[in-house]
C-alpha cells in the first residue's frame, strides 16, 4: 500500500508506529494472533521511546480538513476511531490486520490501512476519508468511475478501493492496466468486481486529467 515515495515511510518504520504496541492493543480478544507469527514479529520490534495511556488520552485529528478532538485509549486504531467514535463509517473493518484494504484512508495524501495505524499516531497528519472527497450529494470522479463501470456488488470493499485508487492516481496520473493491477493489489474484493475496477481506475485517470488534476 505504501508508496516508495511516501515521505513518512522511514519514520513509520523506525518511529512511533509500533507493531508491539498495536498488537498489545488488539488484546486478548484478537484470536487471529494465535498463529504465533505476529507474536514473533512483535518480540523482534524495538521498544517505543514514549508511552501514553493506558487510560484514555485526548487527541486531535485533522480529518477532511477540520480538526476533531476526541478521547481514546492509545490502543485504539484510526479505523475504530473513525467508525466507532466519529461515525465516519465509509472505511470498513474487514480483516483488521492490514491485508484487505477495506479500511483505506489517505494520510498526507498517501494510502494507509487505517486498521494498522493508531489514532494517536495519526495526529498531525492530514487524514482524508471517503466522506471528505466530495460535496454531499455529489460524486468524486473516482467514485463516479466505479459506478460507471459497475465496479461494485455488495459494495463493502468499494470505499477502500475508491480511496486506494485516489491515492494511486495522485502518484500515477497516467497508468496502464499493469500499473493499475499493481497499484490496487493491496485491496481485496469477495464479490469479484476487479474487471470493473480496472476500467474504473483507467477512466478516473482520464477524467482527472481533463479536469486539470483536481483529484479532490
Partner 1 sequence: MANTPDYSWPPMEARKVIGQSPKRLDGPAKASGRARYSSDLNPKDLLFGVYLTCPHAHARVTSVDTSAAEKIQGVTAVHVVSPAGTEIQWQGTEVAAVAAVTEEIARDAVGAIKVVYEVLPHLVKEEDVAQAGARAKAAGEILKGDPAAAFQQAAVVSEGHYGIPVITHCCLEPHGQTIQWQGDSVWAWPSTQDVTHYAGQLGQNLKVPAANVKVKMDYIGGGFGSKFSPDSWGEVCARLSQKSGGRPVRLFLDRATEQRIAGNRPSAYADIKIGGGKDGTITAWESHSWATGGFTGGGSPPLPYILDDSNHPIPNKRLVHTAISTNTGPFRAWRAPNNQQAAYLTCSAVEDFAAKAGLDPLGVFKLNLQYAPKVRQDLYGYQFDKAAELSEWKKLWKLRGQSAGPVKRGLGLGFSAWGGGGHTSQCNVTLHADGSVQVDIGTQDLGTGTRTIITQVAAETLGLPMAAIKLTIGSNDLPPDNASGGSTTVGGVSASTRKAAVNALAKLFDAAAPALGATADQLEAANGQIRVKGSPSKSLTWTAACKKIGAAGKIAETGINDQRNPSRELISSGTGGVQVADVSVDIETGIVKINRYVAVQDCGLIINPRLAESQVYGAVIMGISTALFERRFMDAATGAMLNADMEFYKLAGIGDIGEIKVYMDIRPENDKRGVIGLGEPPAIAICAAVGNAVANAIGVRVPHIPMTPDHVLDALEGRNA
Q: Convert residues 27-66 into a mask of x (bound to partner 1 by CB under 8 A) and - (unbound).
A: xxxxxx-xx-------------------------------
The total of other beta-carbon atoms located within 10 Å of residue 171's CB is: 15
195 forms part of the interface with partner 1 (CB under 8 A): yes
Residue 118 touches partner 1, criterion: CB under 8 A? no
For residue 76 the three cell numbers come to 485504539
Q: Tell me how far apart the alpha carbons of residues 19 and 13 are, in angstroms, rounded to a whole number.
A: 9
Residue choice 1, 18, 78, 83 for contact with partner 1 (CB under 8 A): 83
**Binding residue for partner 1 (CB under 8 A) from 7, 191, 209, 213?**
191
Residue 188 found at the interface with partner 1 (CB under 8 A): yes
Integer CA distances (angstroms), 45 to 40, 53, 81, 165, 179, in order:
9, 20, 25, 31, 32
Q: Of 107, 197, 202, 205, which one interacts with partner 1 (CB under 8 A)? A: 197
In 108-176, alpha helices (H): 141-148, 158-171
The residues with which 62 forms a beta bridge, in sequence order, are 67, 126
Which among 144, 198, 146, 205 is positioned nearest to 175, based on CA atoms? 205
Where in 142-171 is the site for partner 1 (CB under 8 A)? 143-144, 146-148, 150-159, 162
Cis peptide before 10 (omega within 30 of 0): no
Task: Point out which residues bind partner 1 (CB under 8 A).
Answer: 25, 27-32, 34-35, 73, 75-76, 80, 83-84, 87, 89-97, 99-100, 102, 129-131, 134, 139-140, 143-144, 146-148, 150-159, 162, 180-182, 184-185, 187-198
Amino acid at each position: 500500500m505504501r508508496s516508495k515515495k511516501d515521505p513518512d515511510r522511514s519514520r513509520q518504520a523506525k518511529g512511533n508506529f509500533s507493531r508491539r504496541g498495536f498488537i498489545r492493543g488488539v488484546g486478548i480478544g484478537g484470536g487471529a494472533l494465535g498463529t504465533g507469527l505476529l507474536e514473533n514479529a512483535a518480540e523482534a520490534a524495538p521498544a517505543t521511546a514514549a508511552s501514553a495511556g493506558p487510560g484514555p488520552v485526548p487527541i486531535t485529528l485533522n480529518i477532511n480538513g477540520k480538526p476533531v478532538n476526541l478521547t481514546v485509549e492509545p490502543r485504539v486504531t484510526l479505523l475504530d476511531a473513525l467508525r466507532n467514535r466519529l461515525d465516519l463509517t465509509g472505511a470498513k473493518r474487514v480483516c483488521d490486520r492490514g491485508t484487505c484494504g477495506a479500511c483505506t484512508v489517505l494520510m498526507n495524501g498517501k494510502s494507509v490501512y487505517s486498521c494498522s495505524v493508531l489514532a494517536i499516531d495519526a495526529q498531525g497528519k492530514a487524514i482524508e476519508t471517503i466522506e471528505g472527497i466530495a460535496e454531499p450529494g455529489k460524486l468524486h470522479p473516482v467514485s463516479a468511475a466505479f459506478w460507471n463501470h459497475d465496479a461494485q456488488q455488495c459494495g463493502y470493499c468499494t470505499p477502500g478501493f475508491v480511496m486506494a485508487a485516489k491515492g494511486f492516481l495522485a502518484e500515477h496520473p497516467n497508468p496502464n492496466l499493469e500499473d493499475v493491477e499493481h497499484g490496487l493489489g493491496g485491496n481485496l474484493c469477495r464479490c469479484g468486481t476487479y474487471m470493473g475496477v480496472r476500467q474504473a481506475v483507467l477512466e478516473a485517470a482520464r477524467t482527472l486529467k481533463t479536469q486539470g488534476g483536481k483529484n479532490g
